[in-house]
Amino acid sequence: MTVATDPERGRRKSPLSKALLPVLRTVGTIVATMIGLLFVTFIIGRVMPIDPVISVVGERASKEAYEAAYRAMGLDQPVIVQFFYYIGDILQGDFGQSLLNARPVAEDIRRVFPATLELATLGTFIGVLIGVPLGVLAAVRRGSWIDQIARFVALIGYSMPIFWLGLVGLLIFYGILGWVGGPGRVGIFYVDIVPSVTGMILVDSLLDGNWTVLKDAMSHIILPASLLGYYSLAYISRMTRSFMLEQLSSEYVITARVKGLPEWTVIWRHAFRNIKVQLITVIALSYAGLLEGSVLTEIIFAWPGIGSYITTALLSADMNAVLGGTVVVGLVFVCLNVFSDLMYKFFDPRAR
């Protein structure tokens, strides 16, 4: 007896399979990336020439106290068991205690990360607001003096060390001209005046309606944010110019111009529309780079963010704080990459 097959059964399942497969693939990539990051930070914590037990009990502790702390920290277990304990602690948001202040590292990160988030967000906004139009204009006026200036600005942004620009900026705009506030997030007279709701001083002062603190905070953040924005601008404008040159030489753009469409329509509604997906990835990577790479800026401007926090912890051999900050920065990179992938699918129907 022959059993009839139902060819439509597989077809009915295929839409669900097609919908679930990208989700499972994305989740699998995130999990694998985070496990790899945790493995790297775990190994770094074990190979560093710093005894975590000595850091806790002190160099003058007795042998019994040392061994008790050694067992309490789980260091007597096999390495693979220690790794799983490490993953379990991270999943619970437990990065250990800081050796500098004996506070939980997670609590310190929640305190310092909003400052970096605020600085990097404003810097990225400046970079996008100026870099995208500058890149488009340079591509449209290729070979002109505008293009030459745009390329020179981008070259300076790539070449100049950001710590040097920060020092020069402080000397000129704060020390000589007095146009901006000095190091720190606010002046000493405005510290802890507004209640901390988000940890971002601009947002908190707006929520509190304290315009005096908002004005002072803006005067302090504008210079470091502008420096980061210049660094972001150099990258974004260069990539925008490259993307637009490719589109402006395409056949559909030539056809649109032959049809007599206005130049503004050809540039912004046709050419620029097709580089949105690429720009999203570029902006996301630039944003992640500012969140992770603003260490020198934060140190120069005494900005209490996660970059200066990790640097101080590293110089003090506080490995719990260093590894905790590294994991958070890695998680930010993963989240921004996932966000750019989602935006890619949103703006490009072919990806869906």
Per-residue pLDDT of 114-134, as tens digits, reads 999 999 999 999 999 999 999
In a domain, 100, yes or no: no
In a domain, 250, yes or no: yes
Q: Quick check: 184 pLDDT over 60?
A: yes
In a domain, 1, yes or no: no
* Same domain, residue pair 231 and 123: yes
In a domain, 242, yes or no: yes
* Same domain, residue pair 79 and 211: no
* Same domain, residue pair 211 and 260: yes
* Same domain, residue pair 50 and 185: no
Which range marks the domain in which residue 158 is found? Answer: 106-351
Return the pLDDT at 49.
Answer: 65
Our count of domains for the chain comes to 2
List Cβ neighbours of 96 (8 Å cut-off, separation of 6 or more). 89, 104, 105, 320, 324
Q: What burial letters (b/e) apply to 213-250, b meaning 16+ CB within 10 Å?
A: bbebbbbbbbbbbbbbbbbbbbbbbbbbbebbeebbee
Return the pLDDT at 50.
Answer: 67
* Same domain, residue pair 130 and 85: no
In a domain, 96, yes or no: no
In a domain, 122, yes or no: yes
* Same domain, residue pair 38 and 159: no
In a domain, 99, yes or no: no
DSSP secondary-structure letter at 273? G
pTM to 2 decimal places = 0.81
In a domain, 3, yes or no: no
Rounded to an integer, the average pLDDT of 186-202 is 86
